[in-house]
Amino acid sequence: MKTVDEGIYADESFRDSLATIGEDGKRKWIYPKKPKGTFTNYRKIFGYSLFILFLVMPFLRINDEPVLLLNVIERHFSILGVVFWPQDFHLFLLAMITFILFVVVFTVIYGRIFCGWACPQTIFMELLFRPIEYWIEGDYKQQKALNDAPLSTTKFIKKSTKHITFFSLSFLISNVFLMYIMGTEAWLEMVTDNPFLHTSGLLLMLLFTAVFYGVYARFREQVCTAVCPYGRLQGVLLDKDSIVVAYDYVRGEPRGKINKWEKEPSTGDCVDCKLCIHVCPTGIDIRNGVQMECINCTACIDVCDEVMEKVHRPTGLIRYASENGIAKNMPFRWTKRVIAYSVVLFVLLSVITTLLATRPDIETSILRTPGMLYQEKAPGIYTNLYNIKIVNKTKKSFPLQFKLENKKGTIQAVGQFPTAESKSITDGALFIELAQEELKGLKTDVIVGVYRGDEKIEEIKTSFVGPAQY
Ligand code: SF4
Ligand code: SF4
């Protein structure tokens, strides 16, 4: 029995170059055959559902907060209705690390299933832009013939129709993308208001449109094979137990055409029709084994199953399987690596859940104003000036009161005590006034209670500077 290490993949020279780059270093344009079959149908259902979700999600709210908002400009983030503030950066970072670890665990077990089924690049390219191309220009052979043909009225109409449609779709995607960054309200204001008041936002919209158009009209599979960091990581994430789209070389080799005069077939199940190569959007031959370029799109599974049905052989010559599953017929098993990753993931999830559940809605900081010492207001009476900052993460505004908790003295606002505005950071200043007998040397610990009406929200410890006592 041949394995990847000793058998059919002994010649690994195909890994030295990308399938989409010719020997002269120029781009080889891929004309993938239109896929059809069971997996393609399931992917369409799943992919179009995700696309609809992508379109409507900016308008969905949980607790009045966007389901997903990544406003990097104003540093306002909302994930599943949970709002993250700059003060919550540690939580956001932890959430990102947890997400990355989840992707790692998922990849170690299920390979690049995300790429084929849920990656926006694959969904947009294979389920939106590519079908439009098939619809306007025909299947792969017609597309190649059209590209090779000299300019004619038909070619001009087809090409311009395609590119106008691509640009319009890119414009739509760009606008939805902006809604995730700036929020739907700000987006609506930008597109309905005087454009000269929103030049940077509108320029960003055009830039995104140009990038999306460039990616889906020209750059295409190069995103997966040359840019995407997740694709690059596959080499270290996958092992021989990972489930990937794989060719069953045990069954398939030696490949060859069917000789109907042979009583006992001298070849394996692969009839070497090469349709799995023709259908591949990254232009690779899955029969060479697991490759970095494979985005697990399942198109080769469908086309090979169709061939197997035609030649009356069992389907599944290309299927979801692990290297150990094919070479040694081993079922999936939890390896030590998967268990270790899962334990870390569970710990991270527990930590983040606890931190989120105990996260305060209001956070106050009271710090002595830098560069200011004490003032002697009257003989034996001293004051310190403090800056206060209140982060109110709730949807209600309310006035605040401050009281000294461990000392006899007074707190006076500079102006008025501030109102903690909803979902905002409020600044203010106050004086603390203490008598000489309350002081303990140069620095005295002071505890300030922060009140919403009669309700104490939190206690803040700060220090009071007084004259040295001898
Ligand atoms: S589609 Fe199936 S039978 Fe045809 S070349 Fe590929 S693996 Fe072999
Ligand atoms: S090898 Fe198969 S699954 Fe991988 S990208 Fe090509 S067609 Fe898709």
Q: Name residue, tokens 């995407």.
A: 228
Closest ligand to Cα 126:
2
Is a pLDDT exceeding 80 seen at residue 468?
Answer: no
Q: Check if 326 has its Cβ closer than 6 Å to any atom of ligand 2.
A: no
Query: Dihedral (C-alpha) 368, 374, 379, 380: value to the nearest 10 degrees?
Result: 60
Residues 6+ apart with CB under 8 A from 293: 18, 19, 20, 221, 224, 225, 231, 282, 283, 284
Ligand 1 binding pocket mutation candidate from 307, 312, 319 (most atoms within 8 A of CB):
307
Ligand 1 centroid – CA 108 distance (Å)? 27
Structure tokens at 384: 């310190």
pTM: 0.80
pLDDT tens profile 72-91: 887 778 888 888 877 788 88
Q: What is the pLDDT of residues 327-367, one digit of tens each?
A: 988 777 777 878 888 888 889 889 988 988 888 888 889 99
Closest CA to ligand 1's atom 4: 273
Question: Cβ distance 402 to 430 under 8 Å?
Answer: yes
123 C-alpha to ligand 2 centroid (Å): 14
Nearest CA to ligand 2 atom 8: 297
Chain centroid offset of residue 348 CA: 18
DSSP code of residue 383:
E
Return d(Cα 249, Cα 251) in angstroms, integer. 5
Rounded Cα distance, 466 and 207, in Å: 58
Atom 4 in ligand 2: residue holding the nearest Cα: 294
Return the closest-CA partner of residue 345 out of 107, 100, 98, 111. Answer: 98
Q: Which two tokens stand for residue 259?
A: 């000789």
Domains along the chain with CATH numbers: 1-359 (no CATH), 362-465 (2.60.40.10)
* Confidence check: pLDDT of 319 > 70: yes
Which residues lie below 8 Å from residue 99, measured CB to CB, with a gap of 6+? none
173 lines ligand 2 (CB under 6 A): no
Residue 307 predicted with pLDDT over 80: yes
The ligand that comes nearest to the alpha carbon of residue 284 is 2
> For 213, which DSSP code?
H
Q: Is residue 261 over pLDDT 70?
A: yes
396-402, long-range: CB < 8 A, 24+ apart: 396/422, 397/421, 397/422, 398/452, 398/453, 399/452, 400/450, 400/451, 400/452, 401/450, 401/451, 401/452, 401/453, 402/366, 402/430, 402/448, 402/449, 402/450, 402/451
